[in-house]
Amino acid sequence: MEFQVLGPVQASVGNRRIELGDRKQRLVLAVLLLEPNQLVPLARLVDLLWRESPPTTARRVVQSHVSRLRSALAAGSGDVTMVRRGMGYAVECDPERIDAYRFRSLLDQARNSDDAHDRVRLLRQALGLWRGPALADAATHEVRDELCRGLDEARMAAVEERFDAELELGRDSQLVDELTDLAARYPHRQKLTFHLMLALYRAGRSGEALRVYASTHRRLDAELGLQPSAGLRQLQIAILRGDPA
C-alpha cells in the first residue's frame, strides 16, 4: 500500500484506490501519516479537526473515523496497521510507503551528492512527488499551514537547490522562462531572483537582469521595508562591472 499526502490525501494498492471517507476522516489519516509509527494524542486530533469548538461527541467521532480507516487499510493490505496506544493512535508502516517521507529522503540524498547531474535527477524526482498543496483536500488553510509549513519550505528549498545544480551545469538560457514565472509567483524568495538574474546575465541579457534587480529592490522596500540580500547586491555589482559569472 502506498500513501500520498503531497496533494490530495490518497491511499492505493497497485492501481486500486482505497476509499478513505470524508474530509475529516482523511485528515485523521494524514496527521498520522505525517508522523508514521509515532503516537498522536487523541486530544491533538480533536483540536486539528474542530479547533476551538469541538462537539461534545468529538472523541467518539474520531474513534469512529479511526475504526473505519482501520477497516479500509486492513482490506487494502495486511502490512499497514492503525493502532491505539493509551489515549492516542499511530499508523504502523514502512515510512517509504509515504510520499512525504520519500520526498525528504530524496532531498537528503541530493544534498549528500557532489555530482550536479545526480542532484538534478534526485531533486526532480523528489519534486515530482508533489501533486499540489500538501493535504489539499483534507485540511483547512489554518490547519494545513500548521501541519505542512516545514514541508512547504522544504519543497521551495528543493526547487532552489535544483536551480543551483542546473546553473552549475550551464543550463542558463533553458531556465530563464521557468525562473521568470517562479520569481513572479514568489517575489520575496530572493534566491529565485538571484537565479533569474544569473541566468539572464549568463545568457547575454544583462539589461534584463539589472531590471529584475531594480524591481525587486523597489518591491522589498515598499512591501517589507527591506533591502536586497548581500548576494543580490554583489551580483548586481558584478553585472555592472561585466565580471565573469
User: What are the average pLDDT values for consecutive 10-residue runs of the chain, which has 245 residues?
Assistant: 96 91 96 96 96 92 95 80 92 95 98 98 98 95 95 98 97 95 95 97 96 96 94 96 90
Residues facing 17 on adjacent strands: 12
Does the pTM exceed 0.85? yes
The backbone torsions φ and ψ at residue 146, rounded to the nearest 5 degrees and listed phi first, read -65, -45
Supply the pLDDT for residue 85: 87
Supply the pLDDT for residue 77: 66
Helix (H, G, I), strand (E, B) or coil at 17: strand
**Domains of the chain: which residue ranges?**
2-95, 170-245
Supply the pLDDT for residue 150: 96
Supply the pLDDT for residue 100: 98
Rounded CA gap, 205 and 210, in Å? Answer: 9
Superfamily of domain 170-245: Tetratricopeptide repeat domain (1.25.40.10)
Supply the pLDDT for residue 41: 96
Domain 2-95: give its CATH architecture.
Orthogonal Bundle (1.10)
Using the 8-state DSSP alphabet, how is residue 21 labeled? -
